[in-house]
Homo-oligomer: A and B are copies of this chain.
Amino acid sequence: MITFTYRIETSGNIEALAAKIASDQSTGTFVALPGETEELKARVAARVLAIRHLPDAQQPSIPEAGGPFKRADVDIAFPFDAIGTDLSALMTIAIGGTYSIKGLSGIRIVDMQLPDDYRGAHPGPQFGVAGSRKLTGIVGRPIIGTIVKPALGLRPHETAEMVGELIEAGVDFIKDDEKLMSPAYSPLAERVKAIMPLILDHEQKTGRKVMYAFGISHADPDEMMRNHDLVAKAGGNCAVININSIGFGGMAYLRKRSSLVLHAHRNGWDILTRHPGLGMDFKVWQQFWRLLGVDQFQINGIASKYWEPDASFIESFKAVTTPIFSPDDCSLPVAGSGQWGGQAPETYERTGRTVDLLYLCGGGIVSHPDGPGAGVRAVQQAWQAAVEGVPLANFALKHRELARSIEKFGDGKAA
Protein backbone atom coordinates (compact mmCIF):
# COMPACT_ATOMS: atom_id res chain seq x y z
CA MET A 1 0.00 0.00 0.00
CA ILE A 2 1.29 3.45 -0.96
CA THR A 3 -0.03 6.32 1.13
CA PHE A 4 -0.13 9.99 0.23
CA THR A 5 -1.22 12.66 2.66
CA TYR A 6 -2.88 15.61 0.98
CA ARG A 7 -3.56 18.88 2.79
CA ILE A 8 -6.77 19.96 1.13
CA GLU A 9 -8.71 23.21 1.34
CA THR A 10 -12.23 23.75 0.06
CA SER A 11 -15.34 25.82 0.53
CA GLY A 12 -17.22 22.59 -0.20
CA ASN A 13 -17.25 19.35 1.68
CA ILE A 14 -13.94 17.92 2.91
CA GLU A 15 -15.11 14.30 2.95
CA ALA A 16 -16.50 14.54 -0.59
CA LEU A 17 -13.30 16.10 -1.89
CA ALA A 18 -11.17 13.39 -0.25
CA ALA A 19 -13.35 10.69 -1.81
CA LYS A 20 -13.12 12.40 -5.18
CA ILE A 21 -9.30 12.46 -5.08
CA ALA A 22 -9.25 8.75 -4.22
CA SER A 23 -11.66 7.94 -7.02
CA ASP A 24 -10.19 10.23 -9.71
CA GLN A 25 -6.70 8.91 -9.12
CA SER A 26 -7.67 5.26 -9.43
CA THR A 27 -10.78 3.88 -11.08
CA GLY A 28 -12.71 7.12 -11.42
CA THR A 29 -14.36 8.57 -14.46
CA PHE A 30 -17.20 11.02 -14.92
CA VAL A 31 -19.99 8.61 -15.73
CA ALA A 32 -20.69 5.14 -14.40
CA LEU A 33 -19.39 2.48 -16.76
CA PRO A 34 -20.43 -1.12 -17.21
CA GLY A 35 -16.85 -2.45 -16.80
CA GLU A 36 -16.51 -1.08 -13.30
CA THR A 37 -17.02 -4.21 -11.25
CA GLU A 38 -16.43 -4.73 -7.58
CA GLU A 39 -13.53 -7.09 -8.28
CA LEU A 40 -11.81 -4.43 -10.33
CA LYS A 41 -12.29 -1.86 -7.61
CA ALA A 42 -10.75 -4.18 -5.04
CA ARG A 43 -7.72 -4.55 -7.33
CA VAL A 44 -6.92 -0.87 -7.82
CA ALA A 45 -9.29 1.48 -6.00
CA ALA A 46 -7.71 4.01 -3.66
CA ARG A 47 -9.21 4.43 -0.20
CA VAL A 48 -9.45 7.36 2.16
CA LEU A 49 -7.76 6.07 5.33
CA ALA A 50 -8.09 9.08 7.60
CA ILE A 51 -9.22 12.68 7.64
CA ARG A 52 -7.73 15.05 10.21
CA HIS A 53 -9.54 18.38 10.24
CA LEU A 54 -7.53 21.58 10.58
CA PRO A 55 -8.53 25.17 11.36
CA ASP A 56 -10.10 27.07 8.45
CA ALA A 57 -7.83 29.07 6.16
CA GLN A 58 -8.13 32.84 6.62
CA GLN A 59 -7.83 33.35 2.89
CA PRO A 60 -8.19 30.80 0.12
CA SER A 61 -4.78 29.70 -1.18
CA ILE A 62 -6.03 30.09 -4.74
CA PRO A 63 -8.17 33.24 -5.01
CA GLU A 64 -11.86 32.38 -4.88
CA ALA A 65 -14.98 34.09 -3.54
CA GLY A 66 -17.03 32.67 -0.71
CA GLY A 67 -15.83 30.55 2.16
CA PRO A 68 -15.26 29.48 4.86
CA PHE A 69 -12.27 27.57 3.50
CA LYS A 70 -12.13 24.32 5.38
CA ARG A 71 -8.89 22.41 5.61
CA ALA A 72 -7.88 18.87 6.46
CA ASP A 73 -5.02 16.43 6.12
CA VAL A 74 -6.26 13.39 4.26
CA ASP A 75 -4.44 10.05 4.02
CA ILE A 76 -5.22 8.22 0.80
CA ALA A 77 -3.96 4.68 0.24
CA PHE A 78 -3.34 3.15 -3.19
CA PRO A 79 -2.90 -0.59 -3.67
CA PHE A 80 0.77 -1.19 -4.52
CA ASP A 81 -0.17 -3.21 -7.60
CA ALA A 82 -2.03 -0.27 -9.10
CA ILE A 83 1.22 1.71 -9.34
CA GLY A 84 4.27 -0.51 -8.98
CA THR A 85 7.74 0.84 -8.28
CA ASP A 86 8.21 3.10 -11.30
CA LEU A 87 8.75 6.61 -9.97
CA SER A 88 7.10 8.25 -12.96
CA ALA A 89 3.95 6.22 -12.28
CA LEU A 90 4.19 7.18 -8.61
CA MET A 91 4.53 10.87 -9.44
CA THR A 92 1.67 10.69 -11.94
CA ILE A 93 -0.64 9.27 -9.29
CA ALA A 94 0.56 11.83 -6.74
CA ILE A 95 0.04 14.96 -8.81
CA GLY A 96 -1.59 13.97 -12.11
CA GLY A 97 -5.26 14.60 -11.69
CA THR A 98 -4.97 15.82 -8.14
CA TYR A 99 -3.84 19.35 -8.85
CA SER A 100 -6.54 19.72 -11.49
CA ILE A 101 -9.62 18.81 -9.47
CA LYS A 102 -12.39 21.40 -9.40
CA GLY A 103 -13.77 22.67 -6.12
CA LEU A 104 -10.60 23.02 -4.14
CA SER A 105 -8.88 26.26 -3.20
CA GLY A 106 -5.69 24.59 -2.00
CA ILE A 107 -3.89 21.27 -2.21
CA ARG A 108 -0.48 20.25 -0.96
CA ILE A 109 1.10 16.82 -0.67
CA VAL A 110 2.53 16.75 2.83
CA ASP A 111 3.57 13.13 3.23
CA MET A 112 4.26 9.94 1.28
CA GLN A 113 4.75 6.49 2.79
CA LEU A 114 6.29 3.91 0.51
CA PRO A 115 5.80 0.21 1.18
CA ASP A 116 8.57 -2.32 1.57
CA ASP A 117 8.09 -3.31 -2.09
CA TYR A 118 10.19 -0.25 -2.90
CA ARG A 119 13.15 -1.50 -0.90
CA GLY A 120 15.97 -2.16 -3.34
CA ALA A 121 13.89 -1.17 -6.36
CA HIS A 122 15.93 1.97 -7.05
CA PRO A 123 19.65 2.66 -7.11
CA GLY A 124 19.69 5.41 -4.47
CA PRO A 125 22.85 7.41 -3.78
CA GLN A 126 26.08 5.82 -5.03
CA PHE A 127 28.28 7.80 -2.63
CA GLY A 128 26.10 9.67 -0.13
CA VAL A 129 27.59 10.69 3.20
CA ALA A 130 30.24 7.97 3.50
CA GLY A 131 31.42 8.32 -0.09
CA SER A 132 31.66 12.09 0.16
CA ARG A 133 33.76 11.76 3.30
CA LYS A 134 35.98 9.10 1.79
CA LEU A 135 36.68 11.05 -1.38
CA THR A 136 37.42 14.31 0.42
CA GLY A 137 39.24 12.66 3.32
CA ILE A 138 37.45 14.92 5.80
CA VAL A 139 36.37 13.40 9.11
CA GLY A 140 35.05 14.84 12.35
CA ARG A 141 33.86 18.13 10.91
CA PRO A 142 31.67 19.35 8.04
CA ILE A 143 33.09 19.27 4.53
CA ILE A 144 33.65 22.94 3.79
CA GLY A 145 32.90 24.14 0.32
CA THR A 146 32.69 27.24 -1.78
CA ILE A 147 31.31 28.39 -5.11
CA VAL A 148 33.12 30.09 -7.94
CA LYS A 149 31.69 33.58 -8.32
CA PRO A 150 30.58 35.57 -10.23
CA ALA A 151 27.88 33.08 -11.17
CA LEU A 152 28.34 33.63 -14.87
CA GLY A 153 30.87 35.32 -17.08
CA LEU A 154 34.32 34.04 -16.16
CA ARG A 155 36.21 32.38 -18.98
CA PRO A 156 37.95 29.08 -18.23
CA HIS A 157 41.35 30.63 -17.49
CA GLU A 158 39.73 33.19 -15.19
CA THR A 159 37.81 30.46 -13.39
CA ALA A 160 40.98 28.41 -13.04
CA GLU A 161 42.76 31.38 -11.53
CA MET A 162 40.10 31.66 -8.82
CA VAL A 163 40.06 27.90 -8.33
CA GLY A 164 43.82 27.91 -7.80
CA GLU A 165 43.40 30.49 -5.07
CA LEU A 166 40.57 28.51 -3.44
CA ILE A 167 42.58 25.29 -3.48
CA GLU A 168 45.48 27.08 -1.82
CA ALA A 169 43.02 28.42 0.72
CA GLY A 170 42.44 24.86 1.95
CA VAL A 171 38.82 24.43 0.95
CA ASP A 172 37.49 20.83 0.68
CA PHE A 173 34.94 21.31 -2.05
CA ILE A 174 34.36 23.79 -4.88
CA LYS A 175 31.47 24.02 -7.26
CA ASP A 176 30.35 25.75 -10.40
CA ASP A 177 27.34 27.97 -9.89
CA GLU A 178 24.36 25.90 -10.98
CA LYS A 179 23.59 28.42 -13.71
CA LEU A 180 26.97 27.69 -15.31
CA MET A 181 26.68 24.69 -17.58
CA SER A 182 28.42 24.89 -20.93
CA PRO A 183 27.94 28.36 -22.44
CA ALA A 184 29.94 29.58 -25.44
CA TYR A 185 32.36 31.66 -23.34
CA SER A 186 33.11 28.74 -20.99
CA PRO A 187 32.53 25.35 -22.63
CA LEU A 188 32.68 22.57 -20.07
CA ALA A 189 35.54 20.83 -21.89
CA GLU A 190 37.69 23.95 -21.64
CA ARG A 191 36.78 24.50 -18.02
CA VAL A 192 37.66 20.93 -17.10
CA LYS A 193 40.96 21.25 -18.96
CA ALA A 194 41.82 24.44 -17.11
CA ILE A 195 40.77 23.31 -13.64
CA MET A 196 41.53 19.61 -13.23
CA PRO A 197 45.34 19.93 -13.49
CA LEU A 198 45.24 22.29 -10.51
CA ILE A 199 43.22 19.77 -8.47
CA LEU A 200 45.50 16.91 -9.45
CA ASP A 201 48.71 18.88 -8.83
CA HIS A 202 47.49 19.77 -5.39
CA GLU A 203 46.61 16.13 -4.74
CA GLN A 204 50.13 15.10 -5.84
CA LYS A 205 51.68 17.57 -3.47
CA THR A 206 49.43 17.17 -0.44
CA GLY A 207 47.59 13.86 -0.81
CA ARG A 208 44.32 15.81 -0.50
CA LYS A 209 41.98 15.91 -3.47
CA VAL A 210 39.63 18.86 -3.55
CA MET A 211 36.20 17.76 -4.74
CA TYR A 212 35.17 19.97 -7.67
CA ALA A 213 31.54 19.80 -8.82
CA PHE A 214 31.31 20.66 -12.51
CA GLY A 215 27.98 21.73 -13.99
CA ILE A 216 27.20 18.86 -16.37
CA SER A 217 23.41 19.26 -16.68
CA HIS A 218 21.93 19.02 -20.15
CA ALA A 219 18.35 18.37 -21.25
CA ASP A 220 19.67 15.60 -23.54
CA PRO A 221 20.93 12.62 -21.49
CA ASP A 222 23.42 11.68 -24.22
CA GLU A 223 24.98 15.12 -23.99
CA MET A 224 24.94 14.98 -20.22
CA MET A 225 26.80 11.65 -20.33
CA ARG A 226 29.38 13.19 -22.64
CA ASN A 227 29.79 15.94 -20.04
CA HIS A 228 30.02 13.34 -17.29
CA ASP A 229 32.72 11.48 -19.19
CA LEU A 230 34.75 14.64 -19.78
CA VAL A 231 34.87 15.20 -16.04
CA ALA A 232 35.53 11.58 -15.11
CA LYS A 233 38.30 11.10 -17.71
CA ALA A 234 40.06 14.22 -16.48
CA GLY A 235 40.11 12.78 -12.96
CA GLY A 236 37.18 14.75 -11.55
CA ASN A 237 34.89 13.11 -9.03
CA CYS A 238 31.78 15.29 -8.74
CA ALA A 239 29.08 17.05 -10.76
CA VAL A 240 26.38 19.64 -10.07
CA ILE A 241 23.07 18.58 -11.57
CA ASN A 242 19.99 20.76 -11.85
CA ILE A 243 17.46 18.10 -11.03
CA ASN A 244 14.37 20.12 -11.89
CA SER A 245 15.75 20.91 -15.34
CA ILE A 246 16.85 17.40 -16.29
CA GLY A 247 13.87 15.61 -14.73
CA PHE A 248 13.53 12.01 -13.60
CA GLY A 249 14.64 10.72 -17.00
CA GLY A 250 17.90 12.63 -17.00
CA MET A 251 18.63 11.65 -13.42
CA ALA A 252 17.82 7.95 -13.83
CA TYR A 253 19.88 7.73 -17.00
CA LEU A 254 22.87 9.46 -15.45
CA ARG A 255 22.81 7.53 -12.17
CA LYS A 256 22.99 4.15 -13.89
CA ARG A 257 26.14 5.17 -15.74
CA SER A 258 27.75 7.65 -13.37
CA SER A 259 31.09 7.36 -11.60
CA LEU A 260 30.76 10.86 -10.13
CA VAL A 261 29.28 12.14 -6.89
CA LEU A 262 25.97 13.74 -7.90
CA HIS A 263 25.43 17.08 -6.19
CA ALA A 264 21.83 18.20 -6.67
CA HIS A 265 20.67 21.78 -7.05
CA ARG A 266 16.91 22.16 -6.62
CA ASN A 267 16.51 24.97 -9.17
CA GLY A 268 12.88 26.10 -9.19
CA TRP A 269 11.76 23.69 -6.50
CA ASP A 270 10.54 26.70 -4.51
CA ILE A 271 7.38 26.99 -6.56
CA LEU A 272 6.29 23.65 -5.12
CA THR A 273 6.80 24.67 -1.50
CA ARG A 274 6.77 28.41 -1.04
CA HIS A 275 3.00 28.82 -0.80
CA PRO A 276 2.03 26.84 2.31
CA GLY A 277 -1.35 25.82 0.89
CA LEU A 278 -0.11 24.57 -2.49
CA GLY A 279 2.25 22.10 -4.06
CA MET A 280 4.36 19.57 -2.25
CA ASP A 281 6.43 19.45 0.90
CA PHE A 282 10.14 19.04 0.29
CA LYS A 283 9.91 16.04 2.61
CA VAL A 284 7.88 14.23 -0.06
CA TRP A 285 9.69 15.50 -3.14
CA GLN A 286 13.17 14.65 -1.94
CA GLN A 287 12.24 10.97 -1.54
CA PHE A 288 11.92 10.64 -5.31
CA TRP A 289 15.32 12.20 -5.92
CA ARG A 290 17.11 10.21 -3.27
CA LEU A 291 15.72 6.97 -4.65
CA LEU A 292 16.94 8.13 -8.06
CA GLY A 293 20.42 8.65 -6.64
CA VAL A 294 21.19 12.14 -5.33
CA ASP A 295 24.42 11.99 -3.26
CA GLN A 296 24.49 15.56 -2.00
CA PHE A 297 21.34 17.66 -1.65
CA GLN A 298 21.35 21.49 -1.53
CA ILE A 299 18.80 22.68 1.00
CA ASN A 300 19.64 26.33 1.85
CA GLY A 301 20.76 27.08 5.42
CA ILE A 302 20.15 29.14 8.56
CA ALA A 303 19.54 32.81 7.69
CA SER A 304 19.78 32.09 3.99
CA LYS A 305 19.61 34.88 1.48
CA TYR A 306 16.48 33.30 -0.01
CA TRP A 307 12.85 33.30 1.15
CA GLU A 308 13.06 29.98 3.01
CA PRO A 309 12.57 30.30 6.78
CA ASP A 310 15.05 28.57 9.10
CA ALA A 311 12.44 26.10 10.34
CA SER A 312 11.86 24.92 6.80
CA PHE A 313 15.62 24.38 6.29
CA ILE A 314 15.75 22.37 9.52
CA GLU A 315 12.87 20.21 8.28
CA SER A 316 14.67 19.69 4.98
CA PHE A 317 17.84 18.70 6.79
CA LYS A 318 15.91 16.17 8.81
CA ALA A 319 14.20 14.89 5.66
CA VAL A 320 17.34 14.11 3.65
CA THR A 321 19.04 12.49 6.66
CA THR A 322 16.09 10.27 7.63
CA PRO A 323 16.38 6.81 6.06
CA ILE A 324 13.58 5.76 3.71
CA PHE A 325 14.62 2.12 3.93
CA SER A 326 18.22 2.30 5.12
CA PRO A 327 20.87 4.85 6.09
CA ASP A 328 22.45 4.26 2.68
CA ASP A 329 19.57 6.03 0.98
CA CYS A 330 20.30 9.31 2.78
CA SER A 331 21.92 12.18 0.93
CA LEU A 332 24.62 14.37 2.40
CA PRO A 333 22.81 17.62 3.30
CA VAL A 334 24.36 20.73 1.75
CA ALA A 335 23.76 23.91 3.72
CA GLY A 336 24.30 26.96 1.56
CA SER A 337 23.11 30.47 0.60
CA GLY A 338 24.47 33.38 2.58
CA GLN A 339 26.50 31.11 4.84
CA TRP A 340 29.64 32.02 6.74
CA GLY A 341 30.89 30.67 10.08
CA GLY A 342 28.27 32.68 11.94
CA GLN A 343 25.52 30.14 11.33
CA ALA A 344 27.60 27.16 12.50
CA PRO A 345 26.40 27.05 16.14
CA GLU A 346 22.70 27.28 15.27
CA THR A 347 23.05 24.84 12.38
CA TYR A 348 24.81 22.38 14.69
CA GLU A 349 22.34 22.74 17.55
CA ARG A 350 19.20 22.54 15.44
CA THR A 351 20.22 19.60 13.25
CA GLY A 352 20.83 17.13 16.05
CA ARG A 353 24.48 18.05 16.65
CA THR A 354 25.83 16.39 13.57
CA VAL A 355 28.83 17.38 11.52
CA ASP A 356 27.71 15.23 8.60
CA LEU A 357 27.03 17.99 6.15
CA LEU A 358 28.60 19.97 3.38
CA TYR A 359 28.77 23.57 4.52
CA LEU A 360 28.84 25.80 1.48
CA CYS A 361 30.01 29.41 1.78
CA GLY A 362 30.38 31.62 -1.28
CA GLY A 363 31.18 35.21 -0.37
CA GLY A 364 31.44 34.02 3.24
CA ILE A 365 34.81 32.53 2.28
CA VAL A 366 36.08 34.43 -0.73
CA SER A 367 35.18 37.87 0.61
CA HIS A 368 36.89 37.40 3.97
CA PRO A 369 38.87 40.61 4.56
CA ASP A 370 42.15 38.66 4.72
CA GLY A 371 41.44 36.49 1.70
CA PRO A 372 39.94 33.08 1.02
CA GLY A 373 42.53 31.18 3.08
CA ALA A 374 41.53 33.13 6.17
CA GLY A 375 37.91 32.64 5.10
CA VAL A 376 38.25 28.86 5.16
CA ARG A 377 40.04 28.88 8.51
CA ALA A 378 37.37 31.17 9.97
CA VAL A 379 34.63 28.70 8.96
CA GLN A 380 36.61 25.77 10.38
CA GLN A 381 37.07 27.70 13.63
CA ALA A 382 33.36 28.52 13.82
CA TRP A 383 32.50 24.84 13.48
CA GLN A 384 35.07 23.89 16.11
CA ALA A 385 33.50 26.43 18.46
CA ALA A 386 30.03 25.12 17.66
CA VAL A 387 30.98 21.52 18.39
CA GLU A 388 32.80 22.50 21.59
CA GLY A 389 29.85 24.62 22.68
CA VAL A 390 31.92 27.79 22.98
CA PRO A 391 30.18 31.02 21.90
CA LEU A 392 31.72 32.36 18.70
CA ALA A 393 32.65 35.69 20.29
CA ASN A 394 34.67 33.88 22.96
CA PHE A 395 36.31 31.55 20.51
CA ALA A 396 37.21 34.53 18.35
CA LEU A 397 39.33 35.99 21.14
CA LYS A 398 42.03 33.45 20.32
CA HIS A 399 41.20 32.91 16.64
CA ARG A 400 41.97 35.91 14.52
CA GLU A 401 40.39 34.68 11.27
CA LEU A 402 37.07 34.07 13.00
CA ALA A 403 37.30 37.45 14.69
CA ARG A 404 37.88 39.21 11.36
CA SER A 405 35.04 37.26 9.81
CA ILE A 406 32.68 38.35 12.60
CA GLU A 407 33.76 41.96 12.04
CA LYS A 408 32.88 41.71 8.36
CA PHE A 409 29.82 39.45 8.29
CA GLY A 410 28.57 39.60 11.87
CA ASP A 411 26.05 42.33 11.24
CA GLY A 412 24.22 40.21 8.73
CA LYS A 413 26.06 41.53 5.69
CA ALA A 414 26.72 38.00 4.42
CA ALA A 415 23.03 37.26 4.39
Report A255 CB to chain B, min CB distance, Å: 9
Is the C-beta of A204 less than 8 angstroms from some C-beta in chain B?
Answer: no
Instruction: Tell me the complex Cα distance, A43–B387, Å.
Output: 44
Stretch of A193-201, A241-249, A378-386, A389-397 at the chain-chain interface: A241-249
Q: Name A219's contact: one of B40, B249, B267 (CB within 8 Å).
A: B249
Cα A153 to Cα B7 with chains together (Å): 27
A208 interfacial by beta-carbon distance below 8 Å: no
A351 at interface (Cβ–Cβ under 8 A)? no
Within 8 A of B (CB), among A128-166: 149-154, 158, 162
A interface residues with partner B (beta carbon < 8 Å)? 25-33, 35-36, 40-41, 43-45, 58-59, 61-63, 81-84, 86-89, 91-104, 149-154, 158, 162, 178-179, 181-185, 217-224, 242, 244-254, 256, 265, 267-272, 274-276, 278-280, 292, 305-308, 338, 362-363, 366-367, 413-415
Find the B residue at minimum CB distance from A161: B35
Additional 18 contacts, C-beta under 8 A, given A86-B217, A88-B219: A26-B152, A27-B150, A30-B305, A31-B363, A40-B154, A58-B63, A88-B242, A91-B267, A92-B178, A92-B242, A97-B267, A220-B253, A247-B250, A250-B252, A253-B253, A271-B278, A275-B278, A278-B278
User: Can you spell out 19 A-B residue pairs with CB atoms less than 8 angstroms apart?
Assistant: A29-B150, A81-B185, A84-B181, A86-B181, A86-B218, A86-B220, A92-B181, A92-B245, A92-B267, A95-B267, A96-B265, A99-B269, A100-B308, A222-B256, A245-B248, A246-B247, A246-B248, A249-B251, A249-B254
For the complex, give the distance between the alpha carbons of A362 and B29 in Å.
Answer: 8
- Are A152 and B44 in touch, CB under 8 angstroms? yes
Q: Which of B43, B221, B362 contacts A185 (CB 8 A)?
A: B43
Please measure, in the bound complex, the distance between the C-alpha atom of A61 and the C-alpha atom of B33, giving whole angstroms.
Answer: 40
Asked if B27 and A153 sit within 8 Å, CB to CB, the answer is yes
Are A89 and B221 interface neighbours, CB within 8 A? no
Contact B89 A33 (CB under 8 A): no
Could you say which residues of chain B place their CB within 8 Å of the CB of A248? 219, 245-247, 249-250
